[in-house]
Amino acid sequence: MEPDFWHRKWQRNEIAFHEGRPNALLVRHIDRLSLKAGSHVFVPLCGKSTDLGWLMARGLRVSGAELSRDAVDQLFADLGLEPAVTQTGSLTHYRAPGIDIHVGDVFALSADMLGRVDAVYDRAALVALPAAMRARYAGHLTRITGTAAQLLICFEYDQSLMDGPPFSVDAEEVRSLYDRDYALSRLERVEVAGRLKGTVEATESVWLLERRQA
């Protein structure tokens, strides 16, 4: 997707992908990551997700990557936090107690910028990218997070019936992207209530990705 696509979405408030409450699959399965207080959770393409505040309320430190500055401004306003804003290369860094957001191209984000990552929560990143970009993204995410464990949420539906995003990412593709570095377990698969975008029947799956032992 071109960056202008997402900038227009936020400028026009066309953000049906934004959930107004913590994601139910995250709430049910967060404990599978075995995180301790103060653990660092990275949320790629985070938007202004309420999941970030929910994770912070559990005593976790969160960071994110987001293309839209509008989204990040709204996120900090919703959290009631006044961020310190600095520039790191091509990325703008928003920081407040317990949260760091890097604004710009996720592919410009490095492991050094992120620091140690204990877990990744990907609800809206992999499924937001067209097929041609997903392998590059998965490899980049694996490298910059040091193969940290992941909770990954994906949709599955007949892609011929509707254009993404969100795109359909089935079990075969999840395995092709991540099986080399992770042991994969599908924790739950549910029907999307009311159809995806009210249009097509779809399922939503949550995967646990755990680093393979050498």
What are the binding residues for S-adenosyl-L-methionine? 10, 45, 66, 123
Phi then psi for residue 28, to 5 deg, are: -75, -25
Task: Give the annotated binding-site residues.
Answer: 10, 45, 66, 123
Listed in sequence order, the DSSP H helices in 80-157 are: 111-114, 131-144
Three state DSSP letters for 17-76: CCCCCCCHHHHHHHHHHCCCCCCEEEEECCCCCHHHHHHHHCCCEEEEEECCHHHHHHHH
Contact present, 96 and 82 (Cβ < 8 Å): yes
The strand pairing partners of 196, in sequence order, are 200
Phi then psi for residue 196, to 5 deg, are: -75, 125
Longest dimension (CA), the chain: 48
- Looking only at the bridges linking them, the beta strands covering 91-96 and 40-44 are unpaired
